[in-house]
Structure 1
Amino acid sequence: MGSFGKLLISSSTIAGVKSRSTTAASSDQFGFSVSVGGLGRRNGSFARCSGGNRRMRRREGVFFASMKVDHHIQPAMVMGEHMQPAMVIEEQMLPAICAEFTILATVNVRRSKKESFKDRVSNRLDAMAEIVGRNVSLMVISTDIDPETKVAKRTEEVSVRRWFEKRKSRDEKDESENMTYTVELTVNNNFGTPGAIVVTNRHQKEFYLESIAVEGFASGIVHFNCNSWIQSSSKDAPRKRVFFSDKPYLPSETPPGLNKFREEELKALRGDGTGERKSSDRIYEFDTYNDLGNPDRGKDWVRPTLGGQELPYPRRLRTGRPPMKTDLHAESRVEAPLPMYVPRDEAFEEGKKETLDKQNTKAMLHVLVPSLVSTSEECHDFKSLHEMDGLYKAGLIFKNGLQTDLLKKIPFFCKLQESEAHLRYDTPSILTRDKLAWIRDDEFARQVVAGINPVSIERVKVFPPVSKLDPEMYGPPESSIREEDITGFLDGMSVADAVKENKLFMLDYHDIFLPFLDRINSQDGRKSYATRTLFFLTSLGTLKPIAIELCLPPGTSESRLKRVLTPPMDATSTWIWQLAKAHVCSNDAGVHQLINHWLRTHASMEPFILSAHRQLSALHPIFKLLQPHMRYTLEINSLARQILINGKGVIESYFTPGSVSMEMSAAAYRNTYRFDQENLPDDLVRRGMAVPDPTQPHGLKLLMEDYPYANDGLMIWSAIKNWVTTYVNAHYHDDASIEYDVELQNWYSEAVNVGHADTRDEPWWPRLSTSEDLIGILTTVIWVSSAQHAALNFGQYPLGGYMPNRPPLMRRLIPDETDPEYKNFIANPEKFFLSCLPSMMQATKLMTVIDTLSTHSEDEEYLGERGKQTYSWTPEIAEAFNVYATEIRRVEEEIEKRNENSELRNRCGAGVLPYQLLMPSSGPGITARGIPNSVTI
């Protein structure tokens, strides 16, 4: 009988039978007939049985059949192994009674909030086509193999009824985003457990399938979280989509009925490396960064390919677009607003698109008026700091003298004046508590450990600092900073003692910038140094800058190739010192954007995402763990190639390195990137900011106690690692199961050997042989995708939206007494300072971009939230996640306490901004807080 078990009849229901024992019974003995329904739906609902005209009802795992006993309807119990005192009808009677039963599939489809005219036309055509059978259908696949056909057991393909009738009804009556359909399917009583569902869409238009739930089996409801766009299927391009149940399986544990589907689904996602990808595809392939330039537009638009022996770089998503006409190795470009290819399910959802659309509209208004100002005046620079403040106060039209009689006669500009508030920029956080904080040395130093690039500071281990560059090309390796330059700023300590007692710290951008300075400074409107900045750790736990070294490459016409500046003593040196700090910030902004932000979070994670989709089945528990941390990353990286890191894009236009920007990024990948040091503890040790300490929860002792990024980050890191450890140990019970997990090994191998092909032979790549290895790799991937990216991204506008605080672009070098510009500097230092910073047009355009990049969308999913991936976890995994979520909430509470602790002067004090960039939760908008699960912007 299999899954039916036995038909048991409670002795108390049968007239004349008083025994409490269980005895065999027959219909002749008791004089009744039975019509047994199949295994029914959930508690209190019914399922029909094709073997009879009665229904059976399930209560609390017991199935009731209607039966006639002495002309009265009484309940009987159908049970499996668990026997209770009752009369038994022999098992062999049942197959003849009922061979099939009905199950119910509940299908949840998300509808679009806004439908275009084209969508409405397609819906009407599809509604008519349903009459002739062009519809949406389902087929349920069992985990078992049919012994006769040798393939997985399956139901017949059944159509979803009333698709458009229900859509019309929903549109009229309900504003919710989802529509629910029910489908009845018939299965044999030995069908087994549902393991997959095949969905076919014969409509012309795609639809978004959120989930399917199948009811009617003794095992309970089987959930299928789909969250995928279902493309149209045709005779020429049949597109049957397979979705697996939420239950994870390692490859070796895959039920026999699912093995073939598991393999075929992965094969479909890998593609064959040929052809141009269509927007409806769901193929993940690797390629080099050969689409950043546009040689067909001329020599100035040529950019080298990133990826390969000459310029090593991680790989990106392949699109297969045709080559350029003038360079067959360069892929043709797709310019905004036309979309670049990403697999359909990687594209932004409606909520995210709405946020970006709002930001784009705001951006157009913000850029429009400065453009008019620039074309209406001879001087494009800000005339004063007060004028720059006008961007956030009085409004652009009035403040910049555009209220002429001519413009007042133009209706469009009348409307702009009426909505003046929409043209103002939001006031950056750096100005909200103390508008002059950016001038002070203590704030300059504080942002090194609590700003938007807190990952560059390192402890000085050797004095003077030494370059690793070739001295034959770049001169003596030793820094020109001497002991006598800084002794007076060490609170009575010698330099040797300050180094020994871990009191000297440094921002060292010398080796990153110096090889590129000739090419940077030869570009119009760009001037830069290779800088080193020394800081002293005071007794209050804060840093103070004590020296800035400004270096130019050998052969430069400037009178001094190396210049050391120390804190000022008079008015002139105060302005010189301010200019030096601005150049340091410009170096820092370039390294932050090109290396620490783009390379180390966006670009370095893309190979792991591509390989996960190609090598890890949706059934794999590690894929389910990683899925929330891959959301939107491929789409945002594609947009970056289109408008941010491309030739003459935002980064080149508004950051000092200009056209050599991505070559600098590639040089950093070659010289400094190491995946094994991308985890927070090892990164802190590498930079000398911490030493191992087994007594600490995270195993480290910070050498600078008030280091907000590190203090908060280590709590987040520990929470992620604890969660990953429990998850991994729940699915892998020994190291052998990790070594012999083919999908897992292929994922990591492909991410390294293909996705990071140019560094694949480096000895520092971690092995993947033990559970400890796997936990470390996964924790690093999740940390980088979530907390590390949040710390480097969401403070961009709050701290960088005011150009004097953090100028990304410098246009002049610092003059000395022999320079012709020195007289202008002395006559009006404020005007000279502003002429070094980005122009009004450059500033406002960049402010518009980083405003968007700093914004959380309405549909953001944050660390410690399950989001859409609501899998049917085992109690052990569910409890582990609850512990993880609780730990994340405790981290937030602890950060709030730290931000109110007056002893922590890097995050609390008069005019001091609290450090919130690693605060896990956030609302939408620019909040300078919130850790999304993935790189979403």
Structure 2
Amino acid sequence: MLNPLLQAQNHSPSFFFTSPLNPIIYPITIPKPRYTRSQSCLSRRREATLRALQVRCEAANEEAARSAVQAATATKSPAKVKVVVTVQSTVGTGLEKETIAGYAHKASQHCDKVKYEGEFSVPSTFGEVGAVLVENEHHKEMYLHDIVLTTAGDDATSLTIDCRSWVHSKFDNPEKRVFFTSKSYLPSQTPPGLERLRKKELANMRGDGTGERKPFERIYDYDTYNDLGDPDKGQDMARPVLGDSKEFPYPRRCRTGRPRTKKDPLSEERSSSVYVPRDEAFSEVKGLTFSAKAFKSVLHAVVPSIETAIIDTKLGFPYFTAIDSLFNEGVKLPKQEGLSFFRTVIPRVIKAFEDSTDNVLLFEAPEMIDRDKFAWFRDEEFSRQTLAGLNPFSIQLVTEFPFVSKLDPEVYGPAKSAITAELIEREILGVMTVEEALKKRRLFVLDYHDLLLPYVHKVRGLEDTTLYASRTVFFLTSDETLMPIAIELTRPASPTKPQWQQVFGRSWDATGAWLWRLAKAHLSAMHPIYRLLHPHFRYTMEINAMARESLINAGGVIESCFSPGKYSAELSAAAYGKLWRFDMEALPADLIRRGMAVEDPTAEHGLRLTINDYPFANDGLLIWSSIKEWVRDYVNRYYPTAADVTADHELQAWWEDVRTKGHADKKDEPWWPTVASPSELTQVLTTIIWVTSGHHAAVNFGQYHFGGYFPNRPTVARKNMPVEDMGGTSHEDFARFLRKPEAALLECFPSQIQATKVMSVLDVLSTHSPDEEYLGQEPEPAWAADAVVNAAFERFNGRMREIEGIIDARNADPKLKNRCGAGIVPYELLRPSSKPGVTGMGVPNSISI
């Protein structure tokens, strides 16, 4: 669980700059036409030309492109540019000198790209260019793509400075922007002439915890999650602050500085636009930001339209064929201005009949159901998905039996589990005892008991939802597949009722078989390190801001469609407090902690898996090892010794920020790794890159495949088990269940409005945008500029292509039953590349959806 702000702080100004080769900065001018030159300098100057100061106003359509270009060229005032260069000095102190101002004027425009050019003269004794200072004299911001410096004459040379950043108007902020060349430097290696600029840029991007942030700013600062509720709209919309408390520990978000609410001085006012540092926002100039438009479209237009179309919020599905109609008939949406546009943005979801103007919410059948319509109903598929499904991170080896809760029995009831050795041995047909199964590492568990139990009564106090604390036990068969053998559901003690718990085993009689199905439904820039991490945090802060605005907020999609309801975010805080450890985010450490692997220096990747056919772990370790090799090569390029690591004050300050600010509620935990050697730095960076790439891909891009047909992964259970408290209304519920068990299961499932809202969101969240950047696909300009780093990246790129072939071969191997077989969806979530759309494969660099 990486804090989105930390993901931005990973490329904070500490790591933003590159510096020149030579130690002295000397000014040059990019003058206006008919510029004047200092006569005393004419004899020792040579001509240089700024060939392309390009403003790329890329947009999704022609109208947007025209608007963007108009915004960038709205005034007659030119863009004012200063160039900072360095000279090699044989004497002196290498101090920075004054700059000379010059101008670049619009030279040409092609579609959405505008080019500015200017000419200026420099002394012949100048060395390599180190940086460019840019001042935007327009009244609106401009997107600066790159700067190309070309010298004139027979020995002409060219230098491209990659910018790809928004430059604010000087009327918003008089501070000039600095762009450094592509060579990376540690702080101790910064030429003296650039030290002031490096420190100043760093200071400009650090917040001081005061003031409301403005859209054009690039300030990174921290705050708690105090903007999910809206208490001024009523007590029902109030939510606790997550973070900075023992009760609700939480990572930090990006500070916005909005005013506090009137009714709760700890909560921040909500707004339609949430601040993120300017370059972290989805870029309007990138015409293919499909994900941003689709996500916004679903949250702001499609979901409200569903709420209008389906008036009865409690209406369920009367029969299973009614669920199928979502994929072949759809839901007719009310005519609404703007939905026709959304058909072009999310054509998979919003369709129009050719003979009418009606908008229809029509879903494509998820691949799992397309291959085998009844797969969701089978125990084998339920078990397989714990290893090769949407959440392969929760299954763990049983090492102690019987199960005992760590919660206070005076509050929640008896701590001992109702799952007994006799029950397990009966379910596995006596092939071995529980003790033998433990020794042979054959028992596994999904254990949400202690996490959910404190929230059961809270959730049951909400309308039309219920919750149980659950444990599910699996047995590993001889063919390396899991067999579910027991599900335990628990309701804690209350002032009026004792604890209720019951274990449901697989059953062949009619009543027991349907109770088993019901039980299953209740499961729940200059710095080289900046440049290494930069592509892994693209758009992450923006997607976090959008989620806080419309997805995880009070009354948002998560609260209205998932069992915990208004306690959803609060429950995530409980999980963070109980479970999250940075050191355990590393894939090998996570597998070992869960008992799914043991260290073995003779095995591939140094681990031996407890379940050999564990698709996520097998493919994940390929990705993890490749990332680690690439990071090790990169780190060793800049940090040959441990002394180099510990002496880097920017690096150490960044890691201190991660621990003490980004995760302030856990800052004193003893498990935080130190960053005192190249190997320790490699492990930390590999963990961060793994979480933003492989970990996220494994849990995100299969959401529609596995959750699009909601009976496979229902997000909410609306009815209690009919066998709970067999008296009063529960007796009536049980009698109704005996008459028609299918109806009882359908009543337990999400309502029509809940299902369609979640399906719409899952479809978009599972979608790769056309401009997706995949792991190991393209090098950053700074990497390509260094021969050693570029060679290491080429090896990484080749390894990603090799992994695709390995995964394809595994999915075709009939011996691997958890990923190959009749009607089984092949495990491709960690296949590195993908085409656009909902593909169930592809590992992007960053969490951008």
2:414 is equivalent to residue 476 of structure 1: yes
Alignment partner, residue 445 of structure 2 = 506
Cα 1:128–1:268 shift into 2, 3 Å = closer
Alignment partner, residue 907 of structure 1 = 819
Cα 1:520–1:916 shift into 2, 3 Å = same
Aligned-partner Cα distance in 2 for 1:378–1:106: 57
2:761 is equivalent to residue 849 of structure 1: yes
Alignment partner, residue 495 of structure 1 = 434
How much does 1:418 deviate?
2.9
Question: The residue matched to 1:493 in structure 2 has which SS?
Answer: coil
Alignment partner, residue 17 of structure 1 = none
From 348, 362, 378, give the equivalent of 1:440.
378
Alignment partner, residue 749 of structure 2 = 837
Q: CA RMSD in A?
A: 2.9
From 512, 530, 538, give the equivalent of 1:623.
530
Question: The residue matched to 1:628 in structure 2 has which SS?
Answer: helix
2:136 is equivalent to residue 197 of structure 1: no
How much does 1:138 deviate?
1.8
Greater Cα shift, 420-429 or 912-921: 420-429
2:321 is equivalent to residue 321 of structure 1: no
Aligned-partner Cα distance in 2 for 1:885–1:508: 38
Letter in 1 for 2:258: R
Alignment partner, residue 276 of structure 1 = 212
Task: Report if aligned partners of 1:312, 1:666 keep a CA contact under 8 Å in 2.
Answer: yes
Letter in 2 for 1:110: R
How much does 1:722 deviate?
0.1
Aligned-partner Cα distance in 1 for 2:73–2:433: 84
How much does 1:928 deviate?
0.9
Q: Which has the higher contact order (CA 8 A, sep 6+)?
A: 2
Letter in 1 for 2:104: V
Cα 1:694–1:552 shift into 2, 3 Å = same
Count of residue pairs brought into register by the alignment: 787
Task: Report if aligned partners of 2:351, 2:362 keep a CA contact under 8 Å in 1.
Answer: no
Aligned-partner Cα distance in 2 for 1:251–1:462: 50
How much does 1:154 deviate?
6.4
Task: Tell me the alpha carbon deviations over residues 236-293 of structure 1, each in whole angstroms, 9 at most, x when there is no partner.
Answer: 7313110010000100001122111100001000132211111111111101111111
Task: Tell me the alpha carbon deviations over residues 769-813 of structure 1, each in whole angstroms, 9 at most, x when there is no partner.
Answer: 111110010000000011101111111111101111000100011
How much does 1:371 deviate?
4.4
2:312 is equivalent to residue 312 of structure 1: no
Alignment partner, residue 500 of structure 2 = 561
Greater Cα shift, 864-873 or 364-373: 364-373
Alignment partner, residue 52 of structure 2 = 106
Alignment partner, residue 823 of structure 1 = 735
Query: TM-score w.r.t. structure 1 length?
Result: 0.80
Letter in 2 for 1:461: T
How much does 1:366 deviate?
6.0
Tell me which structure has the larger Cα radius of gyration. 1
Alignment partner, residue 374 of structure 1 = 310
Letter in 2 for 1:810: A
Alignment partner, residue 342 of structure 1 = 276
Question: The residue matched to 2:205 in structure 1 has which SS?
Answer: helix
Q: Which ranges of structure 1 fall in alignment gaps of 5 or more residues? A: 4-49, 53-94, 172-176, 399-411, 588-617
Cα 1:511–1:560 shift into 2, 3 Å = closer
Aligned-partner Cα distance in 2 for 1:220–1:630: 34
Alignment partner, residue 799 of structure 2 = 887
Letter in 1 for 2:708: G
Aligned-partner Cα distance in 2 for 1:223–1:256: 23
From 767, 778, 802, give the equivalent of 2:709.
802
How much does 1:394 deviate?
2.7
User: For residues 513-532 of structure 1, what are the structure 2 equivalents within 5 Å?
Assistant: 513-532=452-471
From 759, 769, 785, give the equivalent of 2:692.
785
Alignment partner, residue 215 of structure 1 = 150
Cα 1:205–1:728 shift into 2, 3 Å = same
Question: The residue matched to 1:855 in structure 2 has which SS?
Answer: coil
How much does 1:560 deviate?
6.5
Cα 1:662–1:352 shift into 2, 3 Å = farther
Cα 1:117–1:414 shift into 2, 3 Å = closer
Task: Tell me the alpha carbon deviations over residues 23-60 of structure 1, each in whole angstroms, 9 at most, x when there is no partner.
Answer: xxxxxxxxxxxxxxxxxxxxxxxxxxx999xxxxxxxx
How much does 1:161 deviate?
2.0
User: For residues 675-824 of structure 1, what are the structure 2 equivalents within 5 Å?
Assistant: 675-816=582-723, 818=727, 819=730, 820-824=732-736
Q: Which ranges of structure 2 fall in alignment gaps of 5 or more residues? A: 1-20, 22-36, 334-349
How much does 1:319 deviate?
0.3
Alignment partner, residue 423 of structure 1 = 361
Alignment partner, residue 73 of structure 1 = none
Letter in 2 for 1:625: L
Question: The residue matched to 2:245 in structure 1 has which SS?
Answer: coil
Alignment partner, residue 86 of structure 2 = 143
From 217, 221, 233, give the equivalent of 1:297.
233
How much does 1:123 deviate?
6.6
Aligned-partner Cα distance in 2 for 1:665–1:490: 35
From 224, 229, 243, give the equivalent of 2:161.
224
Aligned-partner Cα distance in 2 for 1:828–1:265: 69
How much does 1:845 deviate?
0.8
Letter in 1 for 2:634: Y
How much does 1:568 deviate?
1.0
Task: Tell me the alpha carbon deviations over residues 163-210 of structure 1, each in whole angstroms, 9 at most, x when there is no partner.
Answer: 5xx23xx24xxxxx4344433221112222111001111012221111
How much does 1:855 deviate?
1.0
Letter in 2 for 1:307: G
Letter in 1 for 2:168: Q
Question: The residue matched to 2:327 in structure 1 has which SS?
Answer: coil
How much does 1:214 deviate?
2.1
How much does 1:365 deviate?
8.1
Cα 1:858–1:556 shift into 2, 3 Å = farther
Alignment partner, residue 936 of structure 1 = 848
User: For residues 113-152 of structure 1, what are the structure 2 equivalents within 5 Å?
Assistant: 113=59, 129-130=75-76, 134-144=77-87, 151-152=95-96
Task: Tell me the alpha carbon deviations over residues 689-708 of structure 1, each in whole angstroms, 9 at most, x when there is no partner.
Answer: 00001112311000100111
2:267 is equivalent to residue 330 of structure 1: yes
From 631, 634, 638, give the equivalent of 2:541.
634
Task: Report if aligned partners of 2:282, 2:292 keep a CA contact under 8 Å in 1.
Answer: no
Task: Tell me the alpha carbon deviations over residues 711-760 of structure 1, each in whole angstroms, 9 at most, x when there is no partner.
Answer: 00000000000000000001111100100101000000011111111111
Question: The residue matched to 1:505 in structure 2 has which SS?
Answer: strand
Question: The residue matched to 2:521 in structure 1 has which SS?
Answer: helix
Task: Report if aligned partners of 2:88, 2:126 keep a CA contact under 8 Å in 1.
Answer: no
Question: The residue matched to 1:226 in structure 2 has which SS?
Answer: strand
Cα 1:444–1:219 shift into 2, 3 Å = farther
How much does 1:469 deviate?
1.6
Task: Report if aligned partners of 2:388, 2:818 keep a CA contact under 8 Å in 1.
Answer: yes
Percentage of identical aligned residues: 45
Aligned-partner Cα distance in 2 for 1:895–1:421: 40
Question: The residue matched to 2:604 in structure 1 has which SS?
Answer: coil
How much does 1:677 deviate?
0.7
How much does 1:866 deviate?
2.1
Aligned-partner Cα distance in 1 for 2:301–2:515: 36
From 776, 787, 790, give the equivalent of 1:878.
790
Letter in 2 for 1:914: P
Question: The residue matched to 2:243 in structure 1 has which SS?
Answer: coil
How much does 1:873 deviate?
2.8
Letter in 2 for 1:472: E
Cα 1:649–1:468 shift into 2, 3 Å = same
Greater Cα shift, 647-656 or 113-122: 113-122
Letter in 2 for 1:381: G
How much does 1:150 deviate?
7.1
Task: Report if aligned partners of 1:291, 1:330 keep a CA contact under 8 Å in 2.
Answer: yes
Aligned-partner Cα distance in 2 for 1:821–1:453: 32
Greater Cα shift, 867-876 or 907-916: 867-876
Question: The residue matched to 2:686 in structure 1 has which SS?
Answer: helix
Alignment partner, residue 184 of structure 2 = 248
How much does 1:566 deviate?
0.5
Task: Report if aligned partners of 2:511, 2:738 keep a CA contact under 8 Å in 1.
Answer: yes
From 491, 505, 518, give the equivalent of 1:579.
518
